[in-house]
Structure 1
Amino acid sequence: MINFGYTRVTTPKAAVEALVKNSNAQWLAGGTNLVDLMKKGVIVPQNLIDINNLPLKEIKKDNGKLHIGALALNSDVAENDLVRQQQPLLSLALQAGASQQIRNMATIGGNMMQRTRCSYFYNPDMPCNKREPGTGCGALKGFNRMHAIFGTSEKCIAVHPSDMCIALVALDATVLITGPKGERRISFQNFHRLPGDAPQRDNTLERGELITGIEIPDNAFKDHFHYLKIRDRTSYAFALVSVAAAVSLQGDTIQDVRLAMGGVAHKPWRLVEAENFLKGKSASEANFRQAAAVAMKGAQGFGHNNFKLKLAPNTLVEALKTATGKA
């Protein structure tokens, strides 16, 4: 790891100004991803700006929305009574991520900003357009078992690693941001990017913009929900495929539904067409399987990850069965 400077700030304004002044600086919160990347030589910032003292840890209910500060710890959010009562799907997804030790350090904002766990990205000796644009994508014709089946490009087939973000995109969360041009809001569905021709850009933040929190609107998904994560081992492993499912039922009829997948795309993958198919239909396995077929339109494997073309729809069906009590 290279030597680096260290600065501590206490206000969002100071954090933004410090980053804008230094083109090769990074914000430091929990450091659970950043420090790993620095050790590998993937990221080599000259300065770290410690933002842990910013007043961005509050979890509160305000005007029909659950507000969570960007520096709230993953473990605190997962175990918070308000979160568990109002947005239990988020709690479940957070508990599925990483290990308890990492959840005790990782922050909500950092979770959103974490980089892909693609082995080619993590190895500076291998070609990777995300790490070094123009060098090629080693995973395209390499070992791509963990890689994307949706939204890929010739430049990159890496996947987004977060569990929390899959729940947040399903719950129609909004990202709160401050930056050099002031404050703005981004729908969670539009926060992360597909790779396209610029896979080095993971999200739609501009330089100097800081996540200050997220908001989740009230919903009717407190009783019927599930987060199903399929992985190689049950502790501290990233998803091969995951599904966040939240359903509002009237009797056996689906009034509303939210669905998203993880481990399948460069960003949390919302299944809008499958949601639209299910609305107004009965909660039956037959309808769930038809919705899964709708969800899989456009999916493409790259060899080692072809098994996801079967695993993904089966995971979606099982998540819906569990969420609706049909398992």
Structure 2
Amino acid sequence: MARVTTDPTSAGPQETHLFGPADVRLLAAELDIRPTKRLGQNFVHDPNTVRRIVGAAGLRAEDVVLEVGPGLGALTLALLPAAELVHAVEIDGALGARLPVTVAERAAVFQQRLRVHVRDALRVRAAEFEPAPTMLVANLPYNVAVPVVLHLLAELPSLRGALVMVQAEVADRMVAAPGSRIYGVPSVKTAWFASARRAGSVPRAVFWPVPNVDSALVALQRQAPPAELARERVFEVVDAAFAQRRKTLRAALAGWAGSSARAAEILTEAGVDPTARGESLGVAEFARIASARTQSR
């Protein structure tokens, strides 16, 4: 693997020049880029942070990485030497067009490893990626982080895992365990696809512009679903249970089941206490509830 450096004066032909704060601002000015809250644009400008992300991802030389929201390319430059190929999905056409140029300027030896897709990550399909991605590594736009992760895990069974940077509060919800005050829909739906753990915090100062929230890394490792059942049926139960999280499951699932009495029957068949609340159940128990309803129809 090539050594990564931020000093252009000492770089050899096998080295990559990572961005520093001045580089990010200069490139943004060149492109007349003004980061927007709508797209969740906060660009990382610290080379040590992107090195840390790549290191925490545990990439293998044969990995095909999917990066969502590469922006100006700070993380992309660090990913290219560590993977066989990087699929970069960027919704902003100007940024997507500039990324190959940036890689040619700063990591020329690795430019054949880059594939740019100017697309909305929430709409991409598996057929668009060849070869298929094996790892998701990204600084995700905070306003769509969980939907993007869930969509990609569902659409790309080839993903063996992920390391994503998200808002710290979102990270805590994704990794929360049953019984926690912050355990909810993101926790359960993430657990359907993967085991999740917090992999560290990221200071606000490494971003431009500086965000108003803290950031954190979440590591995901793909695991088999807890049941051979349509994911959509299980997620219907999850959504209903947490739509009124203060209510007992018997009451919260009344609309989903048809009545509170019917909900109680299904819950009993699934081995779940009808007076329990959704926040006390793991993903396997939600799957049992969905399965019980399917079998009793």
Give the structure-2-normalised TM-score. 0.29
Higher normalized contact order (CA 8 Å, seq sep 6+, divided by chain length): 1
